Chains A and B, each alone.
Chain A
Amino acid sequence: MTDFWHLVRKEATHRKLTFALCLLAIVIAASVLVGELTVLKAHDLQTDFILEEKEQRLEDEMAKMEDDYRKIALELGLNVLILPEGENPDDFYAEGYTSKFMLEEYIDRVAESNLVTINHLLPILEQKIRWTEQGNRTIMLVGTRGETPVSWKPPEKQKPMPTTVGVAPGKIVLGYELWDSLNVEVGDTVELLGENFEVDKCHSRRGTIDDITAWIDLGQAQHLLGMEGSISGIRLLQCLCEGYDPPTLKRNIEEILPGTQAILLENKALTRWEARSNAKAVAKSSLARELAHRSKLRGEIESFVALLIPIVSIVSMALIGVLTLNNVRERRQEIAILRTLGYRSRQILNLFLAKALLLGIIGATLGYLIGFSVALAPGTGSVAGTIASLFDVRILAMTLVAAPGMSLLASWVPALIAAREDPADILRAG
């Protein structure tokens, strides 16, 4: 029995040139399809690779900066000034005292929170007053209770040398200009706002407002100023906030102390943190620019592919159509004799379509191999595991469907013409 595919195969090998040209057309179309899609995939992989590499580099750099920051933050800590909400910090800096006040209990609230490791927690009550007993001269009165122990810190971790030592009730510490002009010394008694204080310490000249400042116990200062239970602000010095970035620390402080504003004071740690944040923003922006650039490039490749693939496909199909039509003309006698021998017109149609299918499958296979190989060549060498990562079963499947489909479509009309040939006309014509 004559095998149907045997006929197809024998005819294909008999008219080698026609078969080869049809095959070439399909191979070109398939390899362009595969090549372009694989290049797009390679581009995507390379984009991922570049971005991952950059992100990794960024992460490494950020980790290093983070580490630097952490170290410096641990070493120096952040300094925070807490003022009543609405108090203009500029006025505070200019005048040296505040016009608004906050509750004294806020000191304990900060001390008992475990927001940060605070080395120095200093409540402030500062007011410029007239020292009526001393010729109405203007002085700065500071009420202090020294360092507030941070309750959650174990005793062995409490700062051994407080920055500011508290002043005992009934005692007074005087700045240089005050004790010098009053001609008093440690152990003497001075009257301030109607109360007597024993001079506990006389500071040497500092060249600052400290020289006209008098320090007394916070409670007595509140009493003298008629501000029981109130303070001007709190200084947090050397906050070792390992787990927080400065903005988070500020936000958290303002949350536990309603009606206050936390002002981060410029120091090396804050500068380092800002530098790190800026560097991160710049790096992220660079990543975004790279991604945009790669996306633009991909868009351009896509546009090219969207144009090239249809053109190549149409040209290939036209070529296959013309070659198949020519093949039908060459085979008119053969078609007539097969019809005479009893072949039905559908069988003639199938002979041509089977050949188209065979061409499509061989063309798809060769086209895939060629297209894939070509796509491997340029610019994809840097992608690890290139062949495995570029192989896409969907592209293979698409090629194995599209190429035979294209071949069948292009051969359809010539095959119909072949199937409709009238054997009597051909035989009579001789």
Chain B
Amino acid sequence: MLEIENLDKMYNGPDGVLRAVDDVSFHVKTGEFVAMQGASGSGKTTVLLCAGGLQAPDRGHAIIDGTDPYRMTPDERAQFRASNIGFVFQQFHLIPYLSVIDNVLAPSGALPDQNVNGRAQELIERFNLSARADHKPSELSTGEQQRTAMARALLNNPMLLLADEPTGNLDKENAMIVLNYLWEFAESGGAVLMVTHSEEAASYAHRTIHLKNGKLLASE
């Protein structure tokens, strides 16, 4: 599903060029839940952004279901992202002025021809947010916010879910709920790549890969 091949990514920083990712290669298969761990600055988020078609690597490839999104035009890549990839972030990144249902429906703006209202309602119920459907993010608990973000990520039926510290701001109970959803998604035929510092969160994954100073250390 996701093939990361010889990925390099460098940034220009105040101290010169920083090699954030150095020749990283790994695969995430369909139905697989992979955790990616490493210290801060080890390049986890950079790998995730490259994998999500948001940041072009300097070298190497990030192939999703046989397609290299960086060979597409920016508009095609945006469409590809909207159709195939779901994102979940530590900060939730919900749109503050939209209700829960509107936040869940937000990705449909990128694919305007689809009628996903029924799917949104289904996700709202599945993530136990029915009573909160008309609430703004500021009126939700952190767990509810992350569940809303999960529902949003799943609206367009993606094949790949990329999660950046999805449990970082959650209590244990809510973290467990989110991790279970991620696991279920993988089990139902999707693929999950999750960045986490938490060993407990990583334990939900089928396997864990470790990064250090931009290099892939090991895969468990």
Contacts and interface: CB of A to CB of B under 8 A. Distances in A.
Interface of A: 1-2, 4, 6-7, 10-11, 13-15, 333-334, 336-347, 423-424, 427-428, 430
B83 A1 contact: no
Contacts of B82: 341-343
B81 A340 contact: yes
B49 A342 contact: no
B115 A342 contact: no
A125 B78 CA distance: 116
Given A1-B117, A2-B108, A342-B83, A337 B93 contact: yes
A424 B115 CA distance: 29
Contacts of A340: 52, 54, 81, 87, 93
Given A343-B82, A344-B78, 16 more contacts: A1-B112, A4-B112, A10-B102, A336-B93, A338-B95, A338-B106, A339-B54, A341-B152, A342-B83, A343-B78, A344-B79, A344-B110, A345-B75, A347-B110, A427-B164, A428-B45
Query: Which secondary structure characterizes the binding site on chain A?
Result: helix
A344 B112 CA distance: 12
A340 B152 CA distance: 12
Contacts of A336: 93
B102 A2 contact: yes
B60 interface: no
B95 A424 contact: no
Nearest to A341: B107
B49 A14 contact: no
A343 B74 contact: no
B130 interface: no
Contacts of B66: none
10 contacts: A2-B109, A7-B98, A10-B98, A15-B97, A338-B110, A339-B78, A340-B52, A342-B83, A345-B75, A430-B91
Query: Which range holds the interface residue count of chain B?
Result: 35 or more
B109 A7 contact: yes
Contact of B116 (A1, A4, A333, A338): A1
Contact of B97 (A1, A11, A343): A11
A389 B117 CA distance: 52
A14 B94 CA distance: 14
Contacts of A342: 78-79, 81-83, 107, 110-111, 156
Interface in B66-84: 74-75, 78-79, 81-83
Given A340-B81, A344-B74, A14 B109 contact: no
B112 to A, nearest CB: 7
B37 interface: no
Contacts of A4: 109, 112
A111 B201 CA distance: 130
B95 A337 contact: yes
A344 to B, nearest CB: 5
B105 interface: yes
Contacts of B95: 334, 337-338
B108 A6 contact: no
B112 A341 contact: no
A333 B98 contact: no
B77 to A, nearest CB: 9
A361 B87 CA distance: 37
Nearest 4 Cβ contacts at the A-B interface: A342-B82, A14-B97, A342-B110, A424-B55
B172 to A, nearest CB: 23
A300 to B, nearest CB: 48
B145 interface: no
Given A1-B114, A341-B107, A342-B83, A13 B49 contact: no
B183 interface: no
B148 interface: no
Contact of A424 (B54, B89, B93, B107): B54
Nearest to A15: B97
A430 to B, nearest CB: 7
Contacts of A337: 87, 89, 93, 95
Interface in B117-149: 117
Nearest to B92: A337
Given A11-B97, A424-B49, A427-B54, A6 B102 contact: yes
B189 interface: no
Contact of B105 (A2, A11, A428, A430): A2
Interface string B157-187: 0000000100000000000000000000000
Contacts of A338: 95, 106, 109-110
Q: Identify the interface centre among A337, A338, A343, A430: most chain B CB within 10 Å of its CB.
A: A337
A424 B89 CA distance: 13
B58 to A, nearest CB: 13
B38 to A, nearest CB: 15
A427 B49 contact: yes
A258 B156 CA distance: 107
Contacts of B55: 424
A430 B52 CA distance: 16
